[in-house]
Amino acid sequence: MGKRRKPSPPSRARLAVLTTAVAGGAVLASGTAHAEPAPTLASVKEQVDRLNEEAEQAIERFNGFQEKQQKLQGEANRIQEKVARGQDAMNELRTQLGVVGAEQYRNNGIDPGIQLMLDSDPASYLGRASVQDQVAGSWTSLLKRAQDEQRKLDQERAEAAATLADLDAVGASLNAQKNEIQGKLAQSEALLNKLSAEERAKINAQEAADRAKAAAQQAAAAERAKAADKEAADKAKAAAKETAGKGAAAPQTASPQTATPQSPAANTPAPPAAGGRAAAIVQFAYAQLGKPYGWSKTGPSSFDCSGLTGAAYRAADVSLPRTSQEQWKVGTRIGRGDLQPGDLVFFYPDLHHVGVYIGDGKMIHAPRTGKNIEVLPIGVMPYMGAVRP
């Protein structure tokens, strides 16, 4: 048989070509696998707005849990004080029971009949027996009181334990909401940190444009309402003149009672003159302009939305619940056309945002983390209604 010939190794040139082709394919595959389209400015703004809104929703839940925690803590303290007082009363009763019990033990060791026979002074014995009967009656009365007090004490201890358990559960919910808020705000900040100064300026400019558009829409609506009121008044005057021309007494026409909306001025509406509850509320809100938003803060250096409205109403000696959802339940619902300075205005379907109406279709509100308390047209956010507490 002939010898097999070994295959010849590839040439250096061929090996180089193969190696280059494999490497190039790997790079291409790697580049294809990791290539991601850069987020647009609009998508970043949308994500930031969504995260901030979700954070504010969590903040209002946090505020609700915090208010509940404070109430439960007060209730737990009150019950524990009752338990301490009850324990002191029980200790006193036990001392009295011990004294009466010892007296009974000393006097009841011998049969009463034998004691009477052996006593040298029967009259004295009968007197002591009467006292012993009184002691026995005191024992029975004290024992009944002690049993009643013990039942009451056990009930109060069970109530304290249940309240403390509720307090622990609310504390856990509070921590969960706090973690959620911090997570949302961190995500929002991380997205913004990826933007250049120029891109951030564009986002701010877009927000300003949105606000200006909302203000213009409200101004147009106010002008339409004003024109409609003027047209109605002109028609009433014309009808009165026509009636007077026919010899009938011209009826006096009253000016429309509904307030005519005014076109929003370029600057902030002036606060109302001093006097009255509404003036106190609005003037307090004006005094907070420029202060930073602080989540779960109620002043005096920073506020969240419901913290600001609550503080404004406290300035007028009116107490409001802590959260925007609970503030919605207080007072009288007001139609948009009947808004007056000092009314509370609410936004978003779940009512997680609230501001103080100041007139001319505007409000003062605490917007969100990273922003300051500001004046804003109420048409910028999804308007849900108003309340006059």
Choose, from 51, 59, 170, 305, the residue flagged as catalytic: 305
Return the bridge partners of 375, or none.
364
Catalytic residue among 45, 322, 352, 353: 353
Alpha carbons 142 and 100: distance in angstroms, whole number:
9
Listed in order, strand segments (DSSP E) in the chain are 332-334, 344-347, 353-359, 362-365, 374-377, 383-388
Q: By the 8 A CB rule, do 316 and 368 touch? A: no
Query: Count of alpha carbons within 13 Å of 21, Cβ hemisphere only?
Result: 6
Q: In this structure, what DSSP letter does residue 338 have?
A: G
How far, in Å, CA of 31 to CA of 48, rounded? 29
Whether omega before 300 lies within 30 degrees of 0, making that bond cis, reads yes
- Find out whether 72 and 171 touch, Cβ atoms under 8 Å: no
Q: Are 139 and 48 in contact (CB under 8 A)?
A: no
197: annotated active-site residue: no
The question of whether 34 is a catalytic residue gets the answer no
Nearest to 204 by CA among 383, 372, 45, 37: 45
* Among 100, 92, 90, CA closest to 141: 100
352 is catalytic: no
End-to-end Cα distance, the chain: 112
Q: Which of 291, 294, 296 is nearest to 374 (CA)?
A: 291
In the 8-state DSSP scheme, what is residue 333? E
Place of tokens 């009150």: 78
Q: HSE-up of 245 (CA within 13 Å, CB side)?
A: 6
Catalytic residue among 215, 365, 375, 377: 365
Active site positions, annotated? 305, 353, 365
